[in-house]
Amino acid sequence: MLEFLWPWAFVLLIIPFLVRLVPPAPESLGAAIRAPFTARWQRLKGDSRVSANVSTLRVVGLFLAWALIVAAIARPQWVGEPIELPNTGRDLMLSLDLSGSMQIRDMQVGNRTISRVEAVKAIASDFTERRVGDRVGLILFGSKAYVQAPLTFDITTVTQFIREAQLGFAGEDTAIGDSLGLAIKRLRDRPALSRVLILLTDGQDTASSVDPMEAAALAAQQNVKVYTIGISRNLGTNSARGGEVDEALLRAIAEATGGEYFRARDPRELQAIYGIIDQLEPVEQDASTFRPQRALGYWAMLGALCVGAIVLLTGGLIPSLVSFSRVTPR
């Protein structure tokens, strides 16, 4: 269907008619010159009927060019039929701990030992790549919590952000409560049944300005389901650089929000945990409609240029050809 964004622009079509109403300037007639070759001169000028026809064609052509220019100004566009885009899935926010203790190398992969953050980045990025149809966001936290990626269908970008995350980006401490509060702020405007937060940490809350359990209570009020994951090879033991994982806190947060607590001692267990979360049933959300649009203004302007060029070329060419054909050699 053809539509014009600025239909009022067609008022400009009356400008040529208004110009015609303006009286021409009076011509000053000088003394007449008597020439013996007046008759031959008239023949060179051509037939008056041909000149009148050419003049009419020029006027029509110029008006057509002006009409096309006005049509281009009105911004024509072709609007296709509505296409329904169903939105299914969940609004899923990942909150990853980047505190200093995540550099501890106690994750066993075959005969190789890697750091906790390397295991998390590899498995979390693989997890997000499978969340097609979900809106996925990313929060990175340490001493402070930051939104690295808002909720988006652009899974590729979120996955890239996970892979590029660096230790120390958010500080050396652990602010679990702040990350919870930030996630709630981002999820509260989404449909109630689709709000999910996956929080992964390897330590205790040491730097939050918001108490984690108060944040969990607020999450429950906002229908945000929190899945917590504690990652460490030796859960329940102290670490010189990180302190023990507070399993009691993580379990309490999950239970308060209707989620579940998992613990991962190695990448294989972490992979299994993400596999369980990956089985969340999608939730139907309001479908959005899309109508494809294609701008046509440049075609109208191109047509105006072509018509104008034809008028300029033929306006002087046709009378010259007619006059040349009527000249008889003597």
Cα separation of 298 and 204, whole Å?
62
CB-count burial class (<10 Å; 0-12, 13-18, 19+) for 86: exposed
Type of residue found at 51 = S
Check pLDDT > 90 for residue 300: no
- Answer yes or no: are the C-beta atoms of 238 and 104 closer than 8 Å: no
| Higher local confidence (pLDDT), 327 or 131 | 131
pLDDT, tens digit, for every residue of 207-255?
A: 888 899 999 999 999 989 899 988 876 544 444 344 577 888 999 999 9
Tokens found for residue 72: 């281009």
Percent share of the chain, pLDDT over 70: 75
Torsion of CA 38, 43, 47, 51, to 10 degrees: -80
Check pLDDT > 90 for residue 138: yes
Q: Identify the band that residue 327 occupies on the pLDDT scale cut at 50, 70 and 90.
A: very low
Q: What is the torsional sign of CA 206, 211, 213, 219?
A: negative
Q: Which CA distances in Å does 93 have to 129, 150, 163, 218, 236? A: 14, 8, 16, 16, 27
Q: What is the pLDDT of residue 330?
A: 47
Q: What is the pLDDT of residue 126?
A: 82
Cα separation of 68 and 70, whole Å?
5
Find the range with the poorest average confidence among 10-14, 256-260, 261-265, 290-294. 290-294
pLDDT, tens digit, for every residue of 60-116?
A: 777 888 888 888 888 888 887 776 655 556 788 999 988 888 888 877 776 778 888
Q: Which CA distances in Å does 128 have to 30, 139, 168, 179? A: 90, 13, 23, 19
- Answer yes or no: are the C-beta atoms of 60 and 16 closer than 8 Å: no
Model confidence pTM above 0.85 = no
Cα separation of 283 and 66, whole Å?
54
Check pLDDT > 80 for residue 132: no
Radius of gyration of the chain (CA): 38
Angle between helices 247-257 and 176-187 (to 10 degrees): 20
Q: Give the 3-state secondary structure of residue 7.
A: helix
pLDDT, tens digit, for every residue of 9-62?
A: 888 888 878 877 777 666 655 555 655 655 555 555 555 554 555 567 777 777
Domains detected in the chain = 2-20+40-81+292-326 (no CATH), 85-277 (3.40.50.410)
